[in-house]
Chains A and B, each alone.
Chain A
Amino acid sequence: MSFVEYNDFIQDGDVAIVYLGHDSLMPVKVQQGAQTQTRFGAIRHSTDLIGQRYGSKVTCSKGGWVQVLHPTPELWTVCLPHRTQILYTTDIATITMMLELKPGSVVCESGTGSGSLSHAILRTIAPTGHLHTVEFHQQRAEKVAEEFKEHRVDHLVTVRNQDVCKDGFGVSGVADAVFLDIPSPWEAVRHAKAALKRHGGRLCSFSPCIEQVQKTCQALADQGFEEISPLEVLLRVHDVRNIYLPLPDFGPDSGPDSCAPTEPDAKQQAPNHASVTLKTTTPPREIPGHTGYLTFATKPRT
């Protein structure tokens, strides 16, 4: 396995994603001789995982079973160990397209945080692109570099432990795109401009508060960025359900004219319990109403 290349079989050293059920996933570092506990019992790596095909069902010691999935940036995003707030797939997808990322793109990112977006960027720019990512928190920078190695994508990424607002990205004139997810992105706009290629490129800044967006837009305009476009994307999940709508009992039917409701036979057979069943979707009780504003801009050729 690698996060940028599919393999069919699970090998020693892989990171596999164990699917425990709806919305419940867990990453597992596959090691000869190791065991992983789940609520369905233990998974013995040597016999249950290594050599098995990704996507197969694995029976745990208590007799329950789980599915073992090939890692992807999207699966990683929903089960990675959080060291910071992370970006989720809906925003990541929008960022990837609006930054025009593709194989070969050179991207600058700060901060690296927990590496949720980083993995998605790496997947998209492989095998010929490169990610320069800057994280000012030393422990986080070290941890994420370790993860890149484990996930076999370290050849595509350089992690720098420095303050992007003071020291920039550590590269200049090489990037096709820059992404900022820091508390004061307006302080990094000039560094972003310097990191982008001379012939231009795209920028995105993620901020939860509109005041941050306001300051960032001002800084972008001052630095000559064009097409400044702040937007927001929200995901709406629809739960598929069978719903039952009971029909009221209007009492004995007198005339043949009275309109029969939808299910005449049901009504006749059991007038007190008649209902209509239909398949529809319901919104979840609570949904995330805001993640952050995404501000996009284009650096023109200088």
Chain B
Amino acid sequence: MADNGDDDAQYRIKEGDYVVLKRGDIFKALQIQPRKKVIFEKQWFFLDKAVGHLYSTKFEILSGGNLQPKKPKEEESPADAKEAGTDNRHILDDGTSQKLTRDDIETLKEQGLKGQEIVQQLIENSSTFRDKTEYAQEKYIKKKKKKYENTVTILKPSCRSLAMMYHGREPGKICHLRYDTLAQMLTLGNIHAGSKVLVFETCAGLVLGSVMERMGGYGSVIQMYPGGGPVRAGVESFGFPAHFHDTLHDFPICHVNALLAGNLDTAAKDPCADEKQSNTVEGQNQPEAEPRGNPEEQSMETNAGDDTADQEKKEREKLKEAKVQGKRVKLEEKRKKLAAAASLLEGRNADGLIIASRFHPCPVLMVLLKFLSPSRPFVVYSQYKEPLIECYTKLKEQGGTVSLRLADTWLRHYQVLPNRTHPLLLMSGGGGYILSGTTVAADRAKPASSQRADEPAPKRLKVTDTEG
């Protein structure tokens, strides 16, 4: 089982891959496209230069946007001369300790000097460096390195890196959901391969993607979406293999009442899902559709209407067909998808529920809980505590749940260095709140001894069990 050189292939960066760039604690998610100029942390380069290299490689950014893999052993500290002061009683801040001017540094950069060499120059031209304490010297070097070393690491995307990226760059887009809170949700929701999970989120698809990663393409995820169409930008960034998307379904939340009442008409076209959803579907189609040649389209026309059984190709076939036959077919497909998602929900036997949105969680939770089997976990996230207090109260009144817990987590990072260990100076103020619990069979008023009363429900539900 030990890996040898041969299986390196699966770790190589390919064109079209979704990747995460990393420098220090800064992340950025991107797709590798030919000749695409990328700006990351004030540096520009061509990302496609990384194609063929291995994931987790650290690159040096060279002039002209080139990328050069860094040797692992280049990390030596540039300060060889181990000469240091003991305290700062003689160090004066007169602003003249650095002999190099801003222009000098610019010239060094233009000469194409490596970051490490510039740092070395700065040290040599600093009159106070030798008087600084050993610790202050290290701090100085670290600071300058951060500024002048132009490296970037290219990583395979993961829930960890993307959650940290969103939290660092765009917390507003993910309702300020901090990564440790997301971690709690996935665990408390018992998200694992083979289950059927409902997700309602307005976190750019980050929560949905994280759920899909934990399910590994086994089981099914039903995204309940508000408005015109599901938001999945964050899901794309995970770069899941195509078969993962076969397990992903979506259902507009505006049809939930009809579904629960048993009068959802999947045969007729639905106004709510139409307008904007068709927009998003088109939006996804177009870039893919353009480079496609004519022959392919013609061949498509000949077998249009055929239903390929092949699950692998189905999704792609679907898209092609839609393009050829126009909107009518597209609507037909959408109707089918809606019907498929509806049939998954109708059994009301889902295994988990995750809610993380900017909407008031209470009505969402109350209605979506109806789709869960008994003895299944659910997790509701909210940036604020008050709406979760309301959820808690309502659930207590209504019954049907146990182990209710309203909580949040507190995250503290540490700097651990010889003689300089302490918590980091800055910490996140809040990562949101979580209400979690477990469903139980609805409590009908019944004589204490008769378990018979429970029988009809399980039987009715069992019919749909075979689906998953």
Contacts and interface: CB of A to CB of B under 8 A. Distances in A.
Interface of A: 4-6, 8-9, 19, 52-59, 63, 65, 67-70, 72-75, 89-90, 92-94, 96-98, 100, 102-104, 120, 123-124, 126-128, 171-174, 197-200, 210, 213-214, 217-218, 224, 228-240, 279-281, 293, 295, 298, 300-302
Interface size class of B (residues with CB under 8 A): 35 or more
A44 to B, nearest CB: 12
B414 A69 contact: no
A234 B408 CA distance: 9
B56 A237 contact: no
A93 B451 contact: no
Interface string B428-455: 0000010000111101000011010010
B440 A98 contact: no
B447 to A, nearest CB: 9
Given A8-B462, A74-B377, A231-B413, A56 B407 contact: no
A100 B414 CA distance: 21
Interface in B390-431: 390, 392-393, 402-403, 405-414, 416-418, 421
A218 B193 contact: no
Closest 7 CB pairs of A and B: A55-B374, A103-B216, A55-B375, A93-B187, A97-B183, A173-B2, A54-B375
Interface in B161-208: 163, 179-180, 182-184, 186-188, 190, 192-195
A93 B193 contact: no
B407 A238 contact: yes
B393 A240 contact: yes
Main secondary structure of the interface of B (DSSP, over half): mixed
Nearest to A130: B1
B72 interface: yes
Contact of B3 (A5, A6, A197, A232): A197
B388 to A, nearest CB: 9
8 contacts: A8-B349, A54-B373, A56-B454, A90-B409, A198-B4, A213-B414, A237-B405, A302-B72
A9 B385 CA distance: 36
A240 B416 contact: no
B402 A19 contact: yes
Contact of B409 (A96, A103, A197, A235): A235
Interface string B258-284: 000000000000000000000000000
Contacts of B406: 237-240, 281
Most chain B C-beta atoms within 10 Å of own C-beta, residue among A70, A75, A279: A70
B373 to A, nearest CB: 7
